[in-house]
Amino acid sequence: MSHPAYDLYEPEGQALPLVFDSPHSGSWFPADMGAVLPEATLLRGRDAYIDELYGSAPAQGAPLLAARFGRAYIDANRAPEDLDPAMVEGAWPRPLTASPKAARGVGLIWSLIEGREAIYDRKLTPAEVEARIAGYWRPYHDALKRLLEEAQARHGAVWHIDCHSMPSQGDPTTEDGTVARPEIILGDRDGTTCEPALTRRVAEVFESLGYEVVLNWPYKGVELVRRYSAPAEGRHSLQIEINRALYCDESSFERHAGFEKVGADVATLIGELAAFVRRRAAA
């Protein structure tokens, strides 16, 4: 199923209470963006190929939702209130709670690429921002919310995996600074967005495959795991970050020899998660 905002890959066979989403792998920038940077520069912010790496999810019984729009246009993993007011012409009509991410140029609508290259030479009108929310952010969230609610209605609980990649090193604008990053980071917002068993099982699978795994630093999970999780009510959300250097050249974004291995390992993870949610749903 396709929508201007997303592609939805439906599960094959009986659907599990397991949902994957990839909010940052989109590579399309609508014509009304009006950026001054070339598309190739804008694409440096995407989670390249994450939708492909998780592409075996439907065959294993789980839907995969993938944003089509580039995250620099509007970021599905930010709250609508997380907007830098300095980007908007005139007064924004609703309250804002801009985070440090918005201050660094990577809030709801990005103003900078890699903390240094300005995306616009103008301010956006409130109508432009509203149109991006209504046309792209909200349909993506509505689709994810529906998938999660339907899965929970069928099975009594749902497990949600929010899929990302990260640069192999931070920069002066990131929480961790200019340091090398681990291979895998799991974010459960310090244990608040999912049962500990989910985080533990994902860590065990990646470690068994030879990966270095770190929890909640520098990525704890942002809007998508925060908004849709309620572990006490059977809604579990976990963010997974994969180091981009494991599978592609970070300058050219060309896949390298590691792509096939990472894809196979992610397929193994999905299979293990399918078994995990079957056990948990039956408990």
Q: What is the DSSP letter of 86?
A: G
Identify the pLDDT of residue 283: 82
Nearest to 150 by CA among 278, 16, 274: 16
Identify the pLDDT of residue 279: 96
- Residue 36 exposed, middle or buried by CB count within 10 Å (0-12, 13-18, 19+): exposed
**Mean pLDDT rounded to a whole number for the chain:** 96
Is the whole-model pTM more than 0.95? yes
Give residue-wise pLDDT tens across range 11-41: 999 999 999 999 999 999 999 999 999 999 9
Q: Which residues pair with 276 in a beta bridge?
A: none
User: How far is residue 237's CA from residue 199's CA, in Å, rounded to a whole number?
Assistant: 9
Class of the CATH domain delimited by 2-77+134-282: alpha beta
58-79 residues labelled b (16+ CB within 10 A) or e (exposed):
bebbbbbbbbbbbbbbbbbbbb
Identify the pLDDT of residue 253: 96
Profile the chain (283 residues) by mean pLDDT over runs of 10 residues.
93 96 98 97 97 98 98 98 95 90 94 94 97 98 98 98 96 84 98 98 98 97 98 98 98 97 98 97 87
User: How far is residue 167's CA from residue 169's CA, in Å, rounded to a whole number?
Assistant: 5
How do 2-3 and 6-9 pair as beta strands? Answer: antiparallel
User: How far is residue 222's CA from residue 98's CA, in Å, rounded to a whole number?
Assistant: 13
User: How far is residue 105's CA from residue 119's CA, in Å, rounded to a whole number?
Assistant: 9
Identify the pLDDT of residue 31: 95
Position 168: which residue type? S
Q: What is the DSSP letter of 66?
A: E
